[in-house]
Structure 1
Amino acid sequence: MHAFTPVPTTLEAALALIAQQRAELDRLHVAHEAWMRAVAHDLRAPLRHVVSFAPLLKESVEELAAAAPQAGYAAEDAREFAATMEQSARKMSAMLDGLAHISRTARTALHLEVLNWSALVQAAVQPLQAQHPQVQWVLPAQPVWVMADADSLRSAMQALLDNAVKFSATQPQPQVCVDAQPLAAGGWRLTVQDNGVGFDASRAQGLGELFQRMHREGEFAGVGCGLALVHTVAQRHGARWEVQSQVQAGCTVHLDWPAAV
């Protein structure tokens, strides 16, 4: 049970309470930093061992199978077990990378500035165009000025563009459209739309939470961190986001970004 904190009745008491709460926040921040260091570094050592020794285990199995052909079925099982171990370790490493990235984004101080969102998108799309020449792009032509932390906004847009390419690249004529429309209350509705495989929107209640996926692992790569990152960036900037999708009818992500002031 939490202790009741009395309401301060004097300026001195209010300032003392603020100082106490700031000290508590600093303590929590230090504890969080220590926890993230453990996640980012300490947990990787056993993972590296699993990833490193899995190929050696497969080599040993091959040697044993060659020496004892009658153990063929057992050797085949051992190969599958070693492959599963290695695959799972690599997946966990990717999950730790995503968790660390989102945690850094959530706690790093924002450096707000007026940015040309259109230019930021153009720069992010260039390497994707080289990697996926089959994808057709529709990009904003006019400058769109927003107030944002450059690194955070760049990470969020990169996550949205990567998802759009990933889920549309297998279509006969993949297309990604990036657009911005002014909001009546000020600000911009930033949109990334693809014509990819989409997903069942009725299953999207947890979308934006860490490690949430709308597709089976064998269908598409990834560990479910992209939209969690977008959610974190939007929340820190006072922006709103939503996703619209249907199976085999593409996906549209809207970011309602506050006006640059």
Structure 2
Amino acid sequence: MNNYERYQWLLFVAVAAIIIMPFWMLREMNQRIQNAEQALTDGSRTDAALSRLLYEARNLESAAASVVAGVDNAQMRSRIAKSMANIPVLVRELSEQSDALGIQQQLRIGNLQGRLEQRLDISQRIVQSTDNQERQRLLAMMSDEMAMSAIANEMRQESQQIFMTQSRQTEALHKRGQRISLISMLIQLALLMALLAMLRRQQSSREHAERALTAANARALAVVQAIREPIALLDGEQRIVMHNAAFAELYGNSSEQLPYIDGQHISQIGNGAWAGLEILQRLRDVLSRDRELWDFELRQTTRDGIERTMLLNACRMSLPDHQQQVTLLTLSDISPHKAAETEISELNQQLQGKIEQISDVNRELEAFSYSVSHDLRSPLRHISGFAEKLGKQLGDGADDKSRHYLEVIDSSAKRMATLIDDLLVYSRLGRSALRLQPVDMQSMVEETRALLDANAQNETPGRHIEWDIKALPMVIADENMMRQVWSNLLGNAVKYSAPREITHIQVSHQRLADGSHEFTVRDNGVGFDMAYASKLFGVFQRMHKPSEFPGTGIGLANVQRVLVRHGGQISADAAPDKGAIFRFTLPSLLDGATAS
């Protein structure tokens, strides 16, 4: 229950209380006023009965006095008889009214009744007596001993006092009732004003809500109209209830006889774009069986005569201002996507053909290089063997030029053998299967370092090499291929730093933002010109003369082939005489291969 409903109930309770309570109070007050007025009426009746009773008593006394005075005739006796008959009736009437009077008044009425009964008895005796002296004595007794004026005065005073008290109470009750009526009227007016204010506020809130709802509907309609995807609503008879501009743009009728599409059957719009029996049945099933359509591809020829591929979605829904449920249609023109997919498919087929051609060429080249390497070994052995025999045969008789020629033949044959061996390694790295396993890069670098230190001491005794090897992780890779990578990179760092008095080589590792591993090898060697960096990882490509630094120029090519096969890459940064930095990466995806 919201605050408005709570206040409304409180207001209704207050209105009921203001209506019922004054009514009950005024009813109680009216009852008390009626009781007071009844008491006043009873007092007035008592006074009237007392006055008539006193009148009859005085009339009886006067008639008795007349008889004593000698006026004893039928008229006087009639007066006496009439008064004697009326007095008991008046006494009974006064006694009946004594219940509403006070105790003192009842006592006075009792005393008065006794005196009246004595008067009646004396009056009877006066009428019956013939002795005049006896009559005078009885008359004097009736006048002196049975006087009623004092009792009557006391009763009148008490009655007057009661009357005044009742009058004041009645007046006070009237004033109180007027005040209650006035206060009730003011409170009822205040509640009426509050009720009117509440109704006005409710009406204002309703109007505000209606305006907000109208504005929201207008905004929603504007949004729907602004959407470039066709949208429409269908009723149970598949007639257009509502649509947006994009729907009319594709399916609006160009005929002047049917310029509007609202209210028309969907099969009659769009130049027959929706006339297919299958799609009409599917749309009927959406509303009748609640079978929604999701991403249903539909080929249509729209109003502009273009054949399109539309992606249709349809579902059943209810509208606030519509009694029956409707079908919501939303469409997307995926013709460009379909064309792009077709083009991409064709390009993929072409690319697949190119890849197969390149793979065939690579296999032929690898087979050729392997075959050539093997085929060249035998002539080289012959050349080297016959050169050695020729040197032995000439012996000391060979002149300097002959010995020089023999040395060139021997060194060239050895260099050619090294090139063949490296070519075989390069070919094997491209053909052999990857054997992924956990590889401890820290241990592998330490082993390579120890081997290089030993070779450096044998070749150049006293050479000082400072190594700075940071913490290296475990990775998933081919152990032999990784050993080839570290052997080439660290060997090059040692080789090209030979001219330095103290060689500094640093190996480090870091995780990149995508989670991949990046390893860095940094040296203070002779470096190279970055203008020739594009040739750095080519086969038999060298940055320095063989006379300066030995080598075949195939080591970095082997490193790149290994890293590419692992899904990584390598890059270099250097400057002449300022050392070189080689960075290579291994993807983090290989870390998950441990479990498998």
Range of TM-score over shorter length: 0.7 to 0.9
Which position in structure 1 is the counterpart of 2:414?
90
360, 365, 375: which one pairs with 1:42? Answer: 375
> Larger deviation: 54-63 or 120-129?
54-63
Which position in structure 2 is the counterpart of 1:254?
583
> Does the aligned pair in 2 maintain the 1:139–1:178 contact within 8 Å?
yes
2:422 & 2:361 partners in 1: Cα distance?
25
Which position in structure 2 is the counterpart of 1:200?
529
Pairing 1:119–2:443 present:
yes
Instruction: Output the amino acid matched with 1:164.
Output: A
1:79-129 alpha-carbon deviations (Å, 9 max, x no partner): 322222222111111111001001101110112223232222122222223
Mark the CA change 1:104 to 1:48 in structure 2 (over 3 Å): closer, same or farther: same
> Does the aligned pair in 2 maintain the 1:211–1:225 contact within 8 Å?
yes
Which position in structure 1 is the counterpart of 2:429?
105
> Larger deviation: 117-126 or 168-177?
117-126
Matching of residues 1-261 of structure 1 within 5 Å? 29=363, 35-61=368-394, 63-65=396-398, 75-132=399-456, 134-141=464-471, 143-259=472-588, 260-261=591-592
Q: Bigger relative contact order, structure 1 or 2, given CA contacts below 8 A and separation 6+?
A: 1
> Does the aligned pair in 2 maintain the 1:61–1:78 contact within 8 Å?
no
1:80 & 1:130 partners in 2: Cα distance?
32
Detail structure 1 runs of 4+ shifted over 4 Å in the superposition. 24-29, 31-34, 59-65
Instruction: Output the amino acid matched with 1:253.
Output: F
1:95 & 1:62 partners in 2: Cα distance?
30
1:193-233 alpha-carbon deviations (Å, 9 max, x no partner): 11111122212221111111111111111111110111101
Considering fraction of residues, name the structure with more helix: 2
Mark the CA change 1:107 to 1:91 in structure 2 (over 3 Å): closer, same or farther: same
> Does the aligned pair in 2 maintain the 1:116–1:144 contact within 8 Å?
yes
Q: Alignment RMSD, CA only?
A: 2.7
Which residues of structure 1 form unaligned runs of 5+? 1-8, 66-74
1:100 & 1:199 partners in 2: Cα distance?
27
Deviation at 1:55, TM superposition (A): 3.1
Deviation at 1:58, TM superposition (A): 3.4
Instruction: Output the amino acid matched with 1:53.
Output: F
Mark the CA change 1:194 to 1:43 in structure 2 (over 3 Å): closer, same or farther: same
Which of these two proteins has the greater Rg computed from alpha carbons? 2
Mark the CA change 1:27 to 1:177 in structure 2 (over 3 Å): closer, same or farther: closer
2:484 & 2:402 partners in 1: Cα distance?
40
Deviation at 1:32, TM superposition (A): 6.1
> Does the aligned pair in 1 maintain the 2:497–2:524 contact within 8 Å?
yes
SS class of match (1:186): coil
SS class of match (1:243): strand
TM-score by length of 2: 0.36
> Does the aligned pair in 1 maintain the 2:535–2:541 contact within 8 Å?
yes
Task: Give the fraction of aligned pairs with identical amino acids, expressed as a percent.
Answer: 34
Instruction: Output the amino acid matched with 1:194.
Output: D
1:205 & 1:231 partners in 2: Cα distance?
13
Deviation at 1:60, TM superposition (A): 4.4
> Does the aligned pair in 1 maintain the 2:518–2:586 contact within 8 Å?
yes
Instruction: Output the amino acid matched with 1:89.
Output: A
Aligned length, in residue pairs: 233
TM-score by length of 1: 0.79
Which residues of structure 2 form unaligned runs of 5+? 1-344, 458-463
2:361 & 2:419 partners in 1: Cα distance?
26
